[in-house]
Amino acid sequence: MQIELKSPFDAHLHLRDGAMLETTVPASAEQFAGAIVMPNLQPPLTDRHTIDSYRARIEAIGGESFAPAMTLFLTPSHTPADIEALKGVISAVKLSPAGSTTHSEKGLHDLVNNHSFMAVLEAMEAMDLPLCVHGETGDFVLDREAAFAPTYRALARRFPKLRIVMEHLGSRALLPLLDEQPNLYATVTLHHLLLDLDALLGGMLRPECFCKPVIKTPADREALQKVVLDAHPKIFFGSDSAPHPQADKARGAAGIFSAPVVLPALAGFFEQHDALDRMQPFLSDRARDFYRLDLPDRTVRLKKDPWRVPVSYGGVTPLFSGERLIWRVVDGA
């Protein structure tokens, strides 16, 4: 039995930089025709020079069959003119509230009352440039996404033509916003779709399952599964694959390296629910249409051929390390 996917696309990907690119880029390029590449490096991607340079480093490894769609890390110093100067260079702007996630120290504070931020959003709305948001507050860790709902609602209403993506959705409390606000969309990750807190804390602590926003309750997982299986038109796949060296993960760094197992694990999920026909729109069509991208013309094939996930890729522990998966990628040409 085989599955064919037409130009699958990862709408939320962290590749890191330096030597780690030799591990992360091939892991994604084998399975995807492109990705929205997130900018929170150290230092973050905040101008054309850093964006173009990073794109070149990715393309040197990924080749012509993998298209990195670049993003800008929004800081308090950015102006509308800065954003307008990047027309055609970036596919989106990434907003991380200060301190909310890895390398977000230079993010924004007080979003709703920040006048310079409002001016930037006005420019983005005029350019039809999407805003990708890591939506968490400083509340109790399981409540941080739900507590961000008023901010999502306020931004969506103030800028009704600005397309806003609620990234790596992990809380069922945010799902009603998709139908309430016409300009709110969402990405869903592999780990939020398949796991709950038991994977992280139910037995021995598993650092490879720690991320932000944290994986939550069975009820949250089941709610996400339902909207994905129901083929909600405003939800598409974004892995939020975010690798860290094993030493950093052991110290508690937030981020799950899922890139090597994404398509095999998702194939197992959709097959289990007799919904293999819903993989293509979730993994490519909706995101490609949303970002209006011209992706490399690729067909990625998977077949049922059990394999065991390596315990490490270039010193990075992957999701499902050492576990057996039923599907594998056999052709990414």
Structure tokens at 124: 């983005």
Q: Residue 91 is which amino acid?
A: S
Q: Which residues, other chains included, contact 18 with Cβ-Cβ below 8 Å and sequence gap of 6+?
A: none
Would you say residue 110 has pLDDT above 80?
A: no
Q: Residue 272 is which amino acid?
A: Q
Would you say residue 225 has pLDDT above 80?
A: yes
* pLDDT range class, residue 108, cuts 50, 70, 90: low
- The stretch 33-43 carries a mean pLDDT of 95
Structure tokens at 290: 């949303």
DSSP state of 208: G
Q: Residue 104 is which amino acid?
A: S
- Tell me the three-class secondary structure of 61-96, residue by residue: HHCCCCEEEEEEECCCCCCHHHHHCCCCCCCEEEEC
Per-residue pLDDT, 102: 56
Would you say residue 65 has pLDDT above 60?
A: yes
Report the predicted TM-score, pTM, of the whole model to 2 decimal places. 0.95
- CA distances to 99, 210, 238 from 137, in Å: 9, 18, 21
Q: Residue 68 is which amino acid?
A: P
* pLDDT range class, residue 250, cuts 50, 70, 90: confident
**CA within 13 Å, CB half, 97:** 21
Q: Which residues, other chains included, contact 49 with Cβ-Cβ below 8 Å and sequence gap of 6+?
A: none
Residue closest to 167 by CA, chosen among 153, 182, 185, 191: 185
Per-residue pLDDT, 141: 94
Give the domain ranges of the chain: 2-331
Q: Which carries the bigger pLDDT value, residue 100 or residue 161? A: 161
CATH no. for 2-331 = 3.20.20.140
The answer to which of 108-122, 267-281, 295-309, 314-328 has the lowest mean pLDDT is 108-122
- CA distances to 15, 31, 257, 305 from 19, in Å: 11, 21, 16, 31
Active site annotation includes 240? yes
Would you say residue 329 has pLDDT above 90?
A: yes
* Helices 21-29/48-62 angle, 10° precision: 70
Catalytic, out of 139, 240, 294, 331: 240
Q: How many Å apart are CA 95 and CA 135, to the nearest integer?
A: 9
Element (H, E) at 46: none
- The stretch 153-158 carries a mean pLDDT of 96
Would you say residue 114 has pLDDT above 80?
A: no
Q: What is the pLDDT of residues 175-192, one digit of tens each?
A: 999 999 999 999 999 999
The answer to which of 2-16, 107-121, 215-229, 260-274 has the lowest mean pLDDT is 107-121
**CA within 13 Å, CB half, 209:** 20
* Tokens 């941080």, residue located: 144
Q: How many Å apart are CA 64 and CA 55, to the nearest integer?
A: 12
The answer to which of 94-108, 192-206, 280-294 has the lowest mean pLDDT is 94-108
Query: Do 167 and 133 touch, CB atoms closer than 8 A?
Result: yes
* pLDDT range class, residue 130, cuts 50, 70, 90: very high
Query: Do 233 and 291 touch, CB atoms closer than 8 A?
Result: no
* pLDDT range class, residue 125, cuts 50, 70, 90: very high
Q: How many Å apart are CA 63 and CA 301, to the nearest integer?
A: 19
Per-residue pLDDT, 98: 66
Query: Do 214 and 200 touch, CB atoms closer than 8 A?
Result: yes
Q: Which carries the bigger pLDDT value, residue 105 or residue 136? A: 136
Per-residue pLDDT, 101: 55
* pLDDT range class, residue 97, cuts 50, 70, 90: confident
Residue closest to 256 by CA, chosen among 269, 244, 268: 244
Q: Where do the DSSP E strands lie in the chain?
A: 2-6, 9-13, 34-37, 67-73, 92-95, 131-133, 164-166, 184-188, 235-237, 299-308, 324-331
* pLDDT range class, residue 333, cuts 50, 70, 90: low
